[in-house]
Chain A
Amino acid sequence: MVKVELKGVTKRFGDVIAAGDVSLQIEDGEFFTFLGPSGCGKTTTMRMIAGLEYPDEGGVFFDGEDVTNLPSFKRNTGMVFQNYALWPHMKVFENVAYGLRVRKVDGAEVEKRVDEALDLVHLGGLGDRFPSQLSGGQQQRVALARVMVINPSVLLLDEPLSNLDAKLRVEMREEIKDLQRKLGITTIYVTHDQEEAMAVSDRVAIQNHGVIRQVGTPSEIYSFPRDVFIATFIGRGAILEGAASLSDGRPRVDLGGFTVEGVDTVSAVGDGDRVACVMRPESFSVAEPGEPSNRLDGVVEWSSFIGPYREVKLNVGGTTLLVDVPPETETPVGGSLTVYIPVRMTIVLPWDEVK
């Protein structure tokens, strides 16, 4: 198991910047996720860790050792590809045994370790099949077994679940997380699905246009997005534009029809600045909370029963907010509704046009 470090890694494909000065440190045994929209450079960043691409600038370090120009086959990483990349001309057993065979492990040992690896992913007894005879979920497990069998120092997972159906996706991600916890292997995961990222990761890096916008635990990123892009990309709810005025160092935001008091989590808001105000739908309550909060009176525009809660579009002074209320709340369209949001959950960020 190793600690992975990227120092100022930059990779360009023509005019497109796939990785822009990426610097970060992934701890030994950590489950680390690159999350971002498609084309943001997350896969390229991972491929540079695997040695399948080489950075134009900067370096990649495993436990402090410079591996920037080391070819993939000397890095001992185990990568699971998005399309699994199982070799169609080899049976499952041979697919899994491949990494051991190129390492010249002797026959009996290969047999033992391949069987263990297949058992680990619940595929015991399927070694005789060809990949084409397996279901999507089974193919995915073979891909996983194929890299686990060589005891890689880093496990690299490139959108491993994107080809599975929704139910299997949840099942597999839990299995992957379990496996990682059990083996304590440094794992790097790439996905565009925020729920998946939140569910499995110790830490998440959000990438856009090649640049890392924020690194943090899932809850940090969810509750305290560092900029408007992240606030938009993660979670639900409206991002409202307004003008800030500072009182006692606390921002008050004029949102047109009404004003709210919020917190400046990144300490970058000045008096009179254009700002974005982030209010998550689930932060609202219909009863007044026992802490400083903003009271908003509005008219119900639209309401929809989701199950655990009721989603309401609430018009407050001409601005529409998305608000979750308890499912039993009466919310007739056109009726008035009063909701509260704690000041500490009203995030104020410098305004930024999201590209």
Chain B
Amino acid sequence: MGAKEIVRALRRELDAMTVIQLLIAYSILIVFLVIPLVLMVRAAFLYQGKFSFHWFIDILTSPEFISFSPRGGMLFEVRRGTMYIWGNDHGILLNSLIVAFSVTVLCSIIGVVAAMLMGRYRFPGKAVFRVLLLIPLLATPFVNAYVIGKLFSPRGGFINFLLVDTLNILPWRIDIDGLVGVILAQTLSFYPIVFLNVLASLNNIDPSVEEMAENLGAKGLRLFRTITFPLFRPGLAAGAIIVFIFSLEDLGAPVGFSGARGNPLARKLVSFQIFSSFAEALTGTFSPKIAALAVIILFLAVVGFLGVRRYVSRSRYTMLSKGGRWSPRLRTPSVMTRSLIIASLGFLVILASMPQIGTLLMATTNWATSGPVPTEGTTEYLATLTSNPDVSRAIVNSLIYSGAAVLIMVLVGSSVAYIVARRAIPGRSVLDILATIPVAVPGVALAVGYFFLFSSDFFRGSIIDPIVDPALLLIFAYSIRRLPFTVRSVSAGLSQVDKSLEESSLNLGANRPTTFFKIVLPLIIGHILGGAILSFVYSMSEVSTSVTLGALREDRVPITFFISQIVYGMAAVGSVSIGAALCMLLMAVQITAMAISNYVLKQKVAFLGV
């Protein structure tokens, strides 16, 4: 297209509604996503006022950050009748990479096995497993890792109580802690991401392509290796990269684990280092070295995400299939195999729902202080939710932040989705990437970026300066971070509305705004509400910016910050059981939202992918 054609196309396409939509979307994305990250990157590359790799070299050459020989920690060491499984300390940056990589591999194995079992076999109780396998998606931030830390404690932990003291089947007590503890906690909460992505790919494979391969003589492992695996590989890659990014930026496990056990090894991770440096941010300065650390994980996450996105979009083989509806291939295995499948899935479900079960127990019994098993029930902690003014205030804060964020997300998200899906405007792919990339932007990195922009001289002391009042920034942080859910949901709605429905409206004399409000909106309203509900839920349980920016003013803290303080043992309010009660409230909100979205709006819950 020549310049003249572009101008002509723009004049035609840019009616008032489109201009407003573009302005809203671009201004919010640029101010609250692009500029903060650019300023953070700039700070990381400045040393004594000049462009320099100083901070990066500093990090990459310091054994505190990267050390190939262990600087401490224990991996499968037995001392005085206890097997210590902590992991070795290889420096903060390397630790983060090792943890993220291990979690990704473990989640991939568990997710693929579970998806193959659920997607290819028929066995009793399958419908129940379909629900139970998703229990880990119920976010119980910080408390989940705390529960695992407590269960695997050598002193009074339930696992040792069961396996060593009661059943006597282990020669030593086991102590899972430190980095391995973090890996365990993250794996158990993140595997459903891989599971769902792979299962969706498996269900998308036209069974005739597998039947064709069998017809040509491929069976068993060969069939899996040559046909099935390559066809679900894009789904696996999509799930795996999300797990990698989530692990890299996760604060819940390090804070929760070190809260439960006090072991400093669980804190030797990049995300925790950035988190803890926010304490000094109150003075109005921020270490450029921490900015450099944030830049490194931002870079890894974004490059990985864009790479996988490209790979996935280039390998949509399943679309080649023509005609007909199919039902996935389901085999009914022998009784022996069926029992094996049920037993292994049952084991996985029990293991993976430990954090949620533990949360319920802590919130409703005296388990937090009673030793391996709870001895009596209590409603004391649940009552705190309304009786303790600090707790109630945190709840109200979170509700307000998430509610306001949802309004912004609906406005921006539906604008972006509509423009990307329907309007031939040059540069719309930029908009598409900006609205999708927040999935890959570590929350702690965004928080650091916000600090550099909104605590700068320009905004210092204004209502948007997080040191003055973090409320506005938290709302925008939630909006940006959860935007992809709304966009994805609205896009799914738009893809079901044939373009000709809009064209016939235009043809009959309705202009674009009338067409949008009378034709498009009524047809996608279910998807918009579905996306809004989902975004609301994920905003309520948002961790990274809540515990960093939220920390800056006591009366503005959201729920998750409050939980982190309790679990980390810093709050004066007392027992970790109050944190568990708050998590129970979060779970109730999540279950209600999913039920509404599933049964009232008939929307499938949009899950995490690229």
Neighbour of A76 across the interface among B5, B509, B522, CB < 8 A: B509
A 41-61 to B, binary, CB cutoff 8 A, 1 in contact else 0: 000000000111010100000
Neighbour of A81 across the interface among B504, B514, B518, CB < 8 A: B504
Tell me the nearest residue of chain A to B523, going by C-beta.
A89
Shortest CB-to-CB span from A18 to chain B, Å, is 15
Tell me the nearest residue of chain A to B521, going by C-beta.
A89
Q: Does B510 reach chain A (CB closer than 8 Å)?
A: yes
**Chain A residues with CB under 8 A of B334:** none
**Chain A residues with CB under 8 A of B514:** 102
CB within 8 Å of A: which B506-523 residues:
506-511, 514, 518-519, 522-523
**Chain A residues with CB under 8 A of B507:** 50-52, 72-73, 75, 77-79, 147
Q: Does B375 reach chain A (CB closer than 8 Å)?
A: no
CB within 8 Å of B: which A55-90 residues:
56, 69, 71-79, 81-83, 85, 87-89
**Chain B residues with CB under 8 A of A98:** 505, 508, 510, 518
Q: Does A226 reach chain B (CB closer than 8 Å)?
A: no
**Can you list 19 A-B contacts (CB < 8 A)?**
A50-B507, A71-B12, A73-B507, A77-B507, A79-B504, A81-B504, A85-B498, A85-B501, A85-B504, A87-B501, A87-B523, A98-B508, A98-B518, A99-B508, A99-B509, A102-B508, A102-B514, A146-B504, A147-B507
Task: Take A83-B498, A87-B501 as given contacts and tell me if A103 and B12 are in contact as well, using a CB distance cutoff of 8 Å.
Answer: no
Q: What total of chain A residues lie within 8 Å of the partner, measured CB to CB?
A: 29
**Chain B residues with CB under 8 A of A161:** none
Number of residue pairs across A and B with beta carbons under 8 Å?
72
Q: Are B511 and A73 in contact (CB under 8 A)?
A: yes
**Chain A residues with CB under 8 A of B214:** none
Q: Are A73 and B509 in contact (CB under 8 A)?
A: yes
**Chain A residues with CB under 8 A of B8:** 54, 69
**Chain A residues with CB under 8 A of B523:** 87-89
Contact residues of A with B, CB < 8 Å?
A: 50-52, 54, 56, 69, 71-79, 81-83, 85, 87-89, 98-99, 102-103, 146-147, 150
Complex alpha-carbon distance, A77 and B503, angstroms: 12
Complex alpha-carbon distance, A99 and B507, angstroms: 9
Q: Does B500 reach chain A (CB closer than 8 Å)?
A: yes
Shortest CB-to-CB span from B347 to chain A, Å, is 47
- Shortest beta-carbon contacts, A-B, top 3: A99-B508, A85-B500, A85-B504
B 398-417 to A, binary, CB cutoff 8 A, 1 in contact else 0: 00000000000000000000
Q: Are A72 and B5 in contact (CB under 8 A)?
A: no
Tell me the nearest residue of chain A to B507, going by C-beta.
A79
Contact residues of B with A, CB < 8 Å?
A: 5, 8-9, 11-12, 498, 500-501, 503-511, 514, 518-519, 522-523
**Chain B residues with CB under 8 A of A83:** 498, 500
Q: Are A147 and B501 in contact (CB under 8 A)?
A: no
**Chain B residues with CB under 8 A of A88:** 523
Shortest CB-to-CB span from A94 to chain B, Å, is 10
**Chain A residues with CB under 8 A of B498:** 83, 85
Shortest CB-to-CB span from A160 to chain B, Å, is 13
Q: Are B503 and A147 in contact (CB under 8 A)?
A: no
Tell me the nearest residue of chain A to B519, going by C-beta.
A87
Q: Are A103 and B509 in contact (CB under 8 A)?
A: yes
**Chain B residues with CB under 8 A of A81:** 500, 503-504
Shortest CB-to-CB span from B18 to chain A, Å, is 12
Complex alpha-carbon distance, A54 and B9, angstroms: 9
**Chain B residues with CB under 8 A of A50:** 503, 507
Q: Are B522 and A89 in contact (CB under 8 A)?
A: yes
Complex alpha-carbon distance, A150 and B506, angstroms: 13
Interface centre among A72, A78, A99 (most CB of B within 10 A): A72
Complex alpha-carbon distance, A102 and B505, angstroms: 9
Complex alpha-carbon distance, A103 and B9, angstroms: 27
**Chain A residues with CB under 8 A of B9:** 54
Q: Are A102 and B510 in contact (CB under 8 A)?
A: yes
**Chain B residues with CB under 8 A of A150:** 508-509
**Chain B residues with CB under 8 A of A75:** 507
Q: Are A69 and B12 in contact (CB under 8 A)?
A: yes
Complex alpha-carbon distance, A79 and B505, angstroms: 10
Complex alpha-carbon distance, A56 and B8, angstroms: 10
Interface centre among B12, B508, B511 (most CB of A within 10 A): B508
Complex alpha-carbon distance, A287 and B200, angstroms: 70
Shortest CB-to-CB span from A329 to chain B, Å, is 43
Complex alpha-carbon distance, A54 and B5, angstroms: 11
Tell me the nearest residue of chain A to B510, going by C-beta.
A102
Shortest CB-to-CB span from A185 to chain B, Å, is 15
**Chain B residues with CB under 8 A of A85:** 498, 500-501, 503-504
Q: Are A72 and B506 in contact (CB under 8 A)?
A: yes
Complex alpha-carbon distance, A75 and B500, angstroms: 17
Complex alpha-carbon distance, A78 and B504, angstroms: 9
Tell me the nearest residue of chain B to A149, going by C-beta.
B508
**Chain A residues with CB under 8 A of B509:** 73-74, 76, 99, 102-103, 150
Complex alpha-carbon distance, A71 and B506, angstroms: 8
Q: Are A56 and B506 in contact (CB under 8 A)?
A: no
Q: Are A72 and B503 in contact (CB under 8 A)?
A: yes
Complex alpha-carbon distance, A147 and B506, angstroms: 12
Complex alpha-carbon distance, A76 and B523, angstroms: 25
Complex alpha-carbon distance, A88 and B518, angstroms: 12
Complex alpha-carbon distance, A102 and B503, angstroms: 14
Shortest CB-to-CB span from A216 to chain B, Å, is 29
Tell me the nearest residue of chain A to B525, going by C-beta.
A89
Q: Are A147 and B508 in contact (CB under 8 A)?
A: yes
Shortest CB-to-CB span from A207 to chain B, Å, is 21
Shortest CB-to-CB span from B164 to chain A, Å, is 63
Complex alpha-carbon distance, A81 and B514, angstroms: 20
**Chain A residues with CB under 8 A of B518:** 98
Complex alpha-carbon distance, A52 and B510, angstroms: 13
Complex alpha-carbon distance, A89 and B582, angstroms: 42
**Chain A residues with CB under 8 A of B500:** 81-83, 85
**Chain A residues with CB under 8 A of B503:** 50, 52, 72, 79, 81, 85
Complex alpha-carbon distance, A102 and B506, angstroms: 10
**Chain A residues with CB under 8 A of B511:** 71, 73
Complex alpha-carbon distance, A79 and B514, angstroms: 18
**Chain B residues with CB under 8 A of A72:** 503, 506-507
**Chain A residues with CB under 8 A of B505:** 87, 98
**Chain A residues with CB under 8 A of B12:** 54, 69, 71
Tell me the nearest residue of chain A to B515, going by C-beta.
A73
Q: Are B519 and A73 in contact (CB under 8 A)?
A: no
**Chain B residues with CB under 8 A of A103:** 509
Q: Are A78 and B508 in contact (CB under 8 A)?
A: yes
Shortest CB-to-CB span from A63 to chain B, Å, is 18
Tell me the nearest residue of chain B to A72, going by C-beta.
B506
Complex alpha-carbon distance, A83 and B510, angstroms: 20
Complex alpha-carbon distance, A56 and B4, angstroms: 11
**Chain A residues with CB under 8 A of B522:** 89
Q: Are B501 and A73 in contact (CB under 8 A)?
A: no
Interface centre among A73, A75, A89 (most CB of B within 10 A): A73
Complex alpha-carbon distance, A261 and B597, angstroms: 77
Shortest CB-to-CB span from B15 to chain A, Å, is 8
